[in-house]
Amino acid sequence: MVDNVFKNDPLLAYKKKNNLERFPGGTAIQENLIYAPMTGGAFAMGDTFPITLRQIETGATFQPKFYRTDIAIAKEQVQVFNKGPEAVFRLVDARLQNAALTMSAILAIAQYNEGQTAGRILQLNGLAEQLNDGAVNSWTAALYATYGTLTRGGTIGAALSSTPINVAGPITYKLLEETYNAACLGDEYPNLIVTTNLGISYIKEKFQPQWRTETQDPNIGFNGLKFNSAMVIQSQYCPGAAGVNDAVLGNYLAAAGETIWMLNTKYIRMWVTDDPEFGFGFTGFKPAQDNLMVAGQYLFSGNDTNQAPRLMRQMYAVTG
């Protein structure tokens, strides 16, 4: 069997390898953060100090989301036609493999999108809403005033804000460099940059050949380009002009141009339930009552979270 349908997404592979967290149960996932400093300053001998209780911590909460892929087979196919030496391939194995690939594609596309506007409440709280500031639209043409039930710009100020950049034209080395450094803070910096096939070509075209360093991530096996301290990799599910609004898998069409995501992966988590069935498990085949069909579901429950959006950036509408 040769796969002529699915594409690759290195970001999902990276998160599964490096950023997987098990969700032990409950109605919400909580990510804790500090959003304000304590009081302090210089003082003279004999001064009194304020001891008012100051709230400086809070928690962003996220609901676990549910996904499934469906597998249906007629018993006649398995028990009569597709068996013995005349079977060209194992039908059940092929269907189960396809279900797993379908789930990966659905989650890969959802991770670049959002899960809070009308019609998307059931979806992952993806990068489009993570890397937003409540004032500037993301690539989805929407802005997200809240993240993890917390209001951006309110009590927490800019603690969970990252301003998207609408490039609306060609990418330049100057813009790449300035955007990258806007996400640097002390010893924190983006270590992974994800874009489309066209996006990585546009970036390469801005570099002289002697400036480029090709490399490979040893953990996930994807080739990429080195930019400062980040590896630039290409994903076929990253939103861009060559993307598709697929009725089954999801929307990764960004007609205005390519998207570029500068990520500090230390603060990104992919939560997956510790339940073996809902954590990429199979329900088993269940027989129908009035015919010989059997069906089952491949399941996922979890969500994506981001503790430090200010250390990352989203760029979109990038053209050649």
pLDDT digits (tens, 9 = 90+) for 36-52: 888 888 999 999 888 88
Of residues 320 and 67, the one with the higher pLDDT is: 67
Give the C-alpha distances (Å, rounded to integers) separating 320 from 25, 227, 231: 46, 19, 21
CA dihedral 128, 30, 303, 64 (to 10 degrees): -130
Q: How does residue 211 score in pLDDT terms, banded at 50, 70 and 90?
A: low
Give the C-alpha distances (Å, rounded to integers) separating 240 from 6, 25, 141, 259: 17, 36, 14, 6
DSSP assignment string, 260-301: EEEE-GGGEEEEEES-TTTEEEE---EE-SSSSEEEEEEEEE
Residue 130's SS3 state is helix
Total-model pTM: 0.90
Residue 197's SS3 state is helix
The predicted pLDDT at position 65 comes to 97
**95-137, pLDDT tens digit by residue?**
899 999 999 999 999 999 999 999 999 999 999 999 999 999 9
Chain position carrying tokens 């570099």: 207
Cα separation, 285 vs 295, whole angstroms: 5
**246-265, pLDDT tens digit by residue?**
999 999 999 999 999 999 99
Q: Identify which of 297, 305, 248 has the alpha carbon closest to the alpha carbon of residue 65.
A: 305
Q: Which amino acid is at 116?
A: Q
